[in-house]
Structure 1
Amino acid sequence: MGLSDIAAGIEVTTEQRERGVASVDDTEADLAERLGAYDSALPCPASAAATLVEAYAGGKSVGAASRVAGLVPATGARALHRLGEPVCPLSPVERDVVRDFLDARVGRTDAVALVGSETEFALGVYCETHDPIPGAVEALEGALAVERADPLADARSDVGDLL
Structure 2
Amino acid sequence: MGLSDIAAGVEVTTEQRDRGVATVDETDADLAERLADHADELPCAPAVAATVVEVYAEGRAIDTAASVAEVAPTTAAKTLHLCGEQVSPLGPTGRGIVRDWLDAKLSRTEAMELTGASERAFALAAYVETHEPIPAAREAVTATLSRGLGGEEPLDEAMSNVTDLRASETSGRQ
User: TM-score, normalising length from structure 2?
Assistant: 0.68
The reply on whether 1:55 has 2:55 as its aligned counterpart is yes
Aligned with 1:122: secondary structure? Answer: helix
Aligned with 1:141: secondary structure? Answer: helix
CA contact (8 A) 1:32 1:47 kept: yes
Provide structure 1 residue ranges, at least 5 long, that are not aligned to the other structure: 1-23, 147-163
The reply on whether 1:104 has 2:113 as its aligned counterpart is no
Runs of at least 4 residues off by over 6 Å: none
CA contact (8 A) 1:35 1:46 kept: yes
Instruction: Tell me the amino acid that sits aligned with residue 72 of structure 1.
Output: A
CA distance in 2, matches of 1:26, 1:69: 25
CA distance in 1, matches of 2:58, 2:27: 19
CA distance in 2, matches of 1:25, 1:145: 15
The two structures, once aligned, show a CA RMSD in angstroms of: 1.4
Match of 1:36 in 2: 36
1:55-95 superposed Cα distances (whole Å, 9 cap, x missing partner): 00111100101110011001100000001011111111101
Aligned with 1:144: secondary structure? Answer: helix
Aligned with 1:42: secondary structure? Answer: coil
Match of 1:120 in 2: 121
Provide structure 2 residue ranges, at least 5 long, that are not aligned to the other structure: 1-23, 148-174
Instruction: Tell me the amino acid that sits aligned with residue 100 of structure 2.
Output: D
Match of 1:20 in 2: none
1:90-118 superposed Cα distances (whole Å, 9 cap, x missing partner): 11110110000000000011111111121
Percentage of matched positions with identical amino acids: 51
1:26-76 superposed Cα distances (whole Å, 9 cap, x missing partner): 121000000000110001110100011110011110010111001100110
Pair 1:29–1:141, CA change in 2 (3 A): same
Task: For residue 25 of structure 1, report the CA deviation from its aligned partner.
Answer: 7.8
Match of 2:146 in 1: 145
Aligned with 1:135: secondary structure? Answer: helix
Instruction: Tell me the amino acid that sits aligned with residue 120 of structure 2.
Output: T
Match of 1:131 in 2: 132
Task: For residue 134 of structure 1, report the CA deviation from its aligned partner.
Answer: 2.1
Match of 2:152 in 1: none
CA contact (8 A) 1:25 1:142 kept: no
Match of 1:9 in 2: none
CA contact (8 A) 2:32 2:50 kept: yes
- Single out whichever of 99-108 and 129-138 deviates more from structure 2: 129-138
Instruction: Tell me the amino acid that sits aligned with residue 54 of structure 1.
Output: E
Task: For residue 120 of structure 1, report the CA deviation from its aligned partner.
Answer: 1.3
Show the 5 A alignment for 1:7-22: none
